[in-house]
Amino acid sequence: MKDNRRTFIKKAALGTTGITLGSAPFAFSAKSYNSIMGANDRVNMCVIGTRGQGFGHLKRWASMAESENVYVKTICDVDENLWAERVQAVNEIQGKKPGTEVDMRKVFDDKDVDAVSIATPNHWHALATIWAVQAGKNVYVEKPCSHNVFEGRKMIEAARKYNRIVQVGFQNRSINNVRKAMQFLHNGGIGEVYMAKGLCYKPRDSFGIAADSEPPQGFHYDMWLGPAAMRPYNEKKSHYNWHWHWDTGNGDIGNQGPHQFDVARWGMNKNEHPVKVSSSGGYYKYGPDECSQETANTQTAELQYADGKILQFEVRGLYTGGEADMGVKIGNLFYGTEGWMEVNGGTWKTYMGRDNEPGPSSESEEEGTDKVVDYLAAPGSGGHYANFIAAVRSGKKSDLTCDIEEGYYSTVLPLLSNISYRMGRSLEFDGKKEKFVRDPEADKMLSREYRKPYVVENNV
């Protein structure tokens, strides 16, 4: 929905020109009208990291040109080999050709860029966000918001210090059916929720091994490594496969997993850290001579809160069926004192009492009850990306469905789980200090050794 300010600008523009929309021969298209509106209303975006999810970001933002006056001004990627295809795609969608850049720092120096969309590997999320807000940019950053716990806290501090809008890419937060499911839980729809479970059942084949080599021409490898320790280039440890190596990724529990961790914590209404964490698993089927993967392909985690309530998570990276009535593989289960709920994408169902009587659901006709409410769509009402743009225009972080602090609390859950997994033991966590209890060895894994000049400073 256009706000009053945009309506006023539109009327003023038409009034001063004497031209009416749709009156030939001077009819304005949406694109030409947006050009008249000018830089004060337009949101100029830069997408940083344009493979995979980043290519999706480019298409999303570019598709908002006519409807929301959002334009991709710059494509930033350290792999120049991607540029031609990305530029062509964006130009075809928004009718305007974006520029290209290797170094994100030059993007941050561009006064015409209003916001950046970060879809780099995980190890770059925090530093890119901090540099961006220090330069006055608003930020949409992919999940998990950070590669470790320390730098996630620094992202919050930077966002608040420089008063910038920072949205984390937990898209479920802007899906209306999921929002209704969460409201139903919070209203006591299945009684008191005492346990939640997140599921990530996603088969992953071996991606193989390769000898170290020279980076491809046009791929700026040193900049791609950024905060990570220097190591020889290896094609099996860079594009996409970075997910499965500790220096750059967090495994599937920190890849697909954060989405379901977020829904689990949201449904439990927990705005705090857990006090205990235990995780175990392994990398099964493929040996080190078949695949260079370091992270687990099968992993379970259990996190407990101060009141004793439990959040469970399970990764199954080989072959498995689904869970519950809908055969959920990527989703959530919630258990309450009066019943339970399954969430599968935007579909949810509840089952009540000992006999599992069907209760309200996303397709229920019982939405007049006080347990299922017409939970209003998020500001922007066009999904997570539109929600971000609405908050950028309003300047209110309260308009975001997933502000950086919300995203951080969910991101910490897989990060703590991985520390327990790698340490091989259960851990106690002090949420106020954001340190483990009397465990300096585990504390070392809350941060990392940063490689200059790619350093997340303590004072942001």
User: Rounded CA gap, 242 and 169, in Å?
Assistant: 19
Residue 75 belongs to domain with CATH number: 3.40.50.720
Domain identity same for 431 and 287: yes
Per-residue pLDDT at 377: 54
Query: Where do we find the tokens 């050709």?
Result: 97
Domain identity same for 93 and 46: yes
Domain identity same for 35 and 110: yes
Domain identity same for 295 and 148: no
Does residue 398 form part of some domain? no
In which domain, by residue range, is 242 found?
175-377+404-446
Per-residue pLDDT at 364: 83
Residue 428's CB is within 10 A of a number of other CB atoms, namely: 14
Domain identity same for 125 and 213: no
**Proportion of the chain above pLDDT 90, given as a percent:** 87
Last residue of a domain, one of 123, 146, 172: 172
Does residue 388 form part of some domain? no
Number of domains the chain contains: 2
Per-residue pLDDT at 380: 60
- For the chain, the average pLDDT equals 90
Domain identity same for 138 and 220: no
Domain identity same for 156 and 300: no
Q: pLDDT digits over 7-30, tens only?
A: 333 333 333 333 233 323 223 344
Q: pLDDT digits over 265-324, tens only?
A: 999 999 999 999 999 999 999 999 999 999 999 999 999 999 999 999 999 999 999 999
Last residue of a domain, one of 139, 172, 205: 172
Domain identity same for 109 and 230: no
Q: pLDDT digits over 153-209, tens only?
A: 999 999 999 999 999 999 999 999 999 999 999 999 999 999 999 999 999 999 999
Last residue of a domain, one of 172, 188, 212: 172
Domain identity same for 8 and 65: yes
Domain identity same for 19 and 151: yes
Per-residue pLDDT at 371: 53
Residue 183 belongs to domain with CATH number: 3.30.360.10
Domain identity same for 121 and 224: no
Q: What is the 3-state secondary structure (H, E, C) of the chain?
A: CCCHHHHHHHHHHHHHHCCCCCCCCCCCCHHHHHHHHCCCCCEEEEEECCCCHHHHHHHHHHCCHHHHCEEEEEEECCEHHHHHHHHHHHHHHHCCCCEEECCHHHHHCCCCCCEEEECCCHHHHHHHHHHHHHCCCEEEECCCCCCCHHHHHHHHHHHHHCCCCEEECCHHHHCHHHHHHHHHHHCCECECEEEEEEEEECCCCCCCCCCCCCCCCCECHHHHHCCCCCCCCCHHHCCCHHHHCCCCCCCHHHCCHHHHHHHHHHHHCCCCCCCEEEEEEECCCCCCCCCCCCCCCEEEEEEECCCCCEEEEEEECCCCCCECCCCECEEEEEEECCEEEEEECCEEEEEECCCCEEEEECCCCCCCCCCCCCCCCCCCCCCHHHHHHHHHHHCCHHHCCCEHHHHHHHHHHHHHHHHHHHHCCCEEEECCCCEECCCHHHHHHHCCCCCCCCCCCCCC
Confidence of residue 125 (pLDDT cuts 50, 70, 90): very high
Does residue 397 form part of some domain? no
The sign of the dihedral angle between the CA atoms of 200, 180, 327, 334 is: positive
What is the rounded radius of gyration, in angstroms, for the C-alpha atoms of the chain?
Answer: 23
pTM of the predicted structure, to 2 decimals: 0.90
Q: pLDDT digits over 342-387, tens only?
A: 999 999 999 999 999 999 999 984 544 455 544 455 676 569 999 9
Does residue 57 form part of some domain? yes
Residues counted in the chain: 460
Per-residue pLDDT at 368: 42
Does residue 390 form part of some domain? no
Q: pLDDT digits over 398-432, tens only?
A: 999 999 999 999 999 999 999 999 999 999 999 99
Does residue 127 form part of some domain? yes
Domain identity same for 281 and 349: yes
Does residue 287 form part of some domain? yes
Does residue 313 form part of some domain? yes
